[in-house]
Structure 1
Amino acid sequence: MIVPMEVSPCAGDDPIVLSHIMPTPIRLIFGGFGLLGTVLLLVELGPALWPPTILTLFFGIIVLGGLSVTLAFMAGSAFSPDQTWEIRPGQLTITYTLFNKTSVKTYRLADLDEMEVVQSSYDSDVETYQLVCRLPIGKTVQTGLESTPFLMAVLAFLRDPLATSKGVPYAETRLRSPNFSRRDAAEQALARLQGRKP
């Protein structure tokens, strides 16, 4: 479970700062679970796939479903960068960090087509919220880190293989903030980004 972050207090022109950080030991644990799951899946169910029999299709579906989960664990732990969002009136600055590499991206209101607060779909046990910013048509999320295009492609394919084959995946056109634990905090951040009073 990802713990929602609280908004840092801000006064005057100080930015609202929130971040999603995955410590290296946690990355290694998730990556290890993903690798172990992949190996176990292939060792235990792989022999049922060859030679082909009437049950090959059944076991093939199970293997593909399991691989979608274990590979997502590995890809997410190895290639998903940490994010720190700094929200100022009319400006969003995102710092991406992965291991020893850092990249900073700055967006102004003119760089964003749409902004909204949505309930996070990734946490099932607690209600969390995200600030989601849609990029203009033809623009995709760029973190400046080499792993990002690969990660975005893998995660988008695992979420919806058919949609991915038809065009730019939804995930690549949205900036999603780290989780807020309260909706009013997310609304405050949205108001600050839009340059209006909450």
Structure 2
Amino acid sequence: MKFKLFTCGLLLMALFCFSGLISADTIYLKSGREIQTSWVEVKGDKVQFLKYGGIVSIPLGKVERIVSDLFEEKSIDHTASDQEMAEQVAPPPEEALPEEEEEEIPEEEMLKRTPQYWIERREFLNEQIRAKEEEIWQLQITVHGAIATGISTIPLAEKIMQLEEEIALINEELANLEFEARRYGIRPGELRGTPPPR
């Protein structure tokens, strides 16, 4: 009877020791999960361990530490793995966008934003009309002389008609002058020298 009890005790101790050997290592994951295994090994960026009768691998970056019941705790160097994971997770560096160049405004466009430009433009057009009217007047005198001497007046008449058409076009431009000026923020009163209302 004593021998049987002694034998049972030895068997229980053997089973206890054997079970300790089977679950000798504990793998602590960063997620808080624990994995019991009888064999574990770190290979590069992977942790391999025995589970369900086969070797299972997990990324080293997911492991917090490995604690052995039979041996001292194994330290895990996460420097390389963490850096690799960070590189995988981190978005690619954004390319520096080229600085937007300020669009240079033509000088004439800048001048159109001032009342003086439109005042001078109106005076210039009026001077053109006066010059063409003077030329027409001189041609009409020449026409009368040509009639008196019997010279053909057709070229003179054609020139007068051309000048009259040019004057009509200039008058159209003058009529649209205030409208064009308003597009650039110039009030009609400013073209006539009237100060803007306060």
- TM-score of the superposed pair, with normalisation by structure 2: 0.29
Q: Answer 1 or 2: which has greater helix percent.
A: 2
Point out the structure with max Rg over C-alpha. Answer: 2
Structure with greater strand share of residues: 1
